[in-house]
Amino acid sequence: MTSSIEYMQHAIRLAKKGLYTTDPNPAVGCVVVKHNEIVGEGWHQVAGQAHAEVLALKQAGLAAQGAIVFVTLEPCCHTGKTPPCADALINAGVKKVVIAMKDPNPLVAGKGLKKLQDAGIVVETGLLETQARALNPGFIKRMEQGRPYVRIKLAMSLDGRTAMASGESKWISSEASRFDVQRLRAASSAILTGIETVLTDDPSMNVRISADELSLDVCDGPLRQPKRIVLDSKFRIPKAVKISSLDGECIVYTTMHVDNKDDYPFIIEDGCTQGSGQDARIDLSLLMQNLAEKEINLLHVEAGSVLCGALLKNGLVDEIIIYMAPHVMGDKAKGLFHLPELEMMKDRISLTINDVRMIGNDIRISAKPVHIN
């Protein structure tokens, strides 16, 4: 006999199918079970389209009456782009709903559970909650703390260098690692970099793999392009740069007042400023709040040591992914983080390593600063 844990594990596997296509919505999976058999299943496939519960109930049909439903996130109870999933479950006549985690969205946040219970449906919560939370770290961070989940991606040599003294950095990591980075970009809401990276490398900062390469079966056209964000305090960005000329939205944050904003091929934001005059800087905490208001869940950072160091120093980094390549670049090359204020061992920033694996000939390390909740 299949256990409740196995049914929820299947719902989590279904949810993972939507990781590249549901943003800014969370990825959700749902399984409808009757007489210990799966009679319907679904996952949220594309933002703005039917939710997981609705698709699973549609597949189950009349068999949904009296069934048990396993879903990775609390069913919604409000009308957005689609009707409430809690109503769909009630109307289908299910007898029990097992929910991995409550929805942190204030519009739901327990209200979906109560609606089901008020309709006489048995509700259980917390089954495989940790695994369910891991599906949507960005959505949860934005709902619970009002900022995106920030992930820094870095490539380094065996001796911890990210660029030569000249600034040259192509290519440190292998082709396999660069493909892996494309997967990270594709799952992100936005990609952040600094003006120095733009001026030095003229990067594209876009997704350059196909739906077929990601084994997606719900994406007919090109993949969704994450927003591209540039921090440019003094507004030095040229009009003709790759990051602003490709498909998708490009936003430049600056401390300068810019006339004729519509003349530029990107959106200009100048409201996240700390200080004034020549000392004005982009306030990273205000930036995060602004990005959350734009429904950015997962912020993927590919930037130089100064910006990466500033994010880390300000406690705004949730995860660091490092691709370590098997070569040596020497002591004149640049390091990962510019943190000149760290002078004593007591000042060091500790990390917890969550995962280490081989990607081609490189080693990929996933780590989390210990101060992050």
Give the other-Cβ count within 10 Å of 146's Cβ.
Answer: 11
* Percent of the chain residues topping a pLDDT of 70: 97
Q: Does pLDDT of 220 surpass 80?
A: no
In this prediction, residue 360 has a pLDDT band, given cuts at 50, 70 and 90, of: very high
Mean pLDDT for 201-222 is 84
From CA 169, how far away is CA 171, in angstroms rounded? 6
Among the ranges given (229-233, 317-321, 347-351), the one the predictor scored with the smallest mean pLDDT: 347-351
Strand ranges for the chain from DSSP E: 29-34, 37-43, 68-71, 96-99, 122-125, 149-157, 190-194, 227-231, 250-253, 267-269, 273-274, 281-282, 298-301, 319-325, 351-359, 362-369
In this prediction, residue 221 has a pLDDT band, given cuts at 50, 70 and 90, of: low
Q: What confidence score (pLDDT) does residue 278 get?
A: 76
Mean pLDDT for 256-266 is 91
Q: What confidence score (pLDDT) does residue 347 get?
A: 83
Q: What residue type is assigned to position 87 of the chain?
A: D
Q: What confidence score (pLDDT) does residue 77 get?
A: 84
Q: What confidence score (pLDDT) does residue 223 get?
A: 85
* Structure-token pair, residue 339: 């943190």
What angle do the packed helices 52-60 and 85-92 form, to 10 degrees? Answer: 20
Nearest partner of 216 among 364, 17, 9, judged by Cα: 17
Mean pLDDT for 231-240 is 94
Q: What is the pLDDT of residues 125-167, one digit of tens each?
A: 999 999 999 999 999 999 999 999 999 999 999 888 887 776 6
Mean pLDDT for 94-110 is 93
Mean pLDDT for 212-240 is 87
- Whether the Cβ atoms of residue 135 and residue 16 lie closer than 8 Å to each other: yes
Q: What is the mean pLDDT of the chain?
A: 92
343 catalytic? Reply is no
Q: Does pLDDT of 66 surpass 80?
A: yes
* Percent of the chain residues topping a pLDDT of 90: 72
> Which of 37, 41, 53, 175 is labelled catalytic?
53
- pTM of the full structure: 0.93
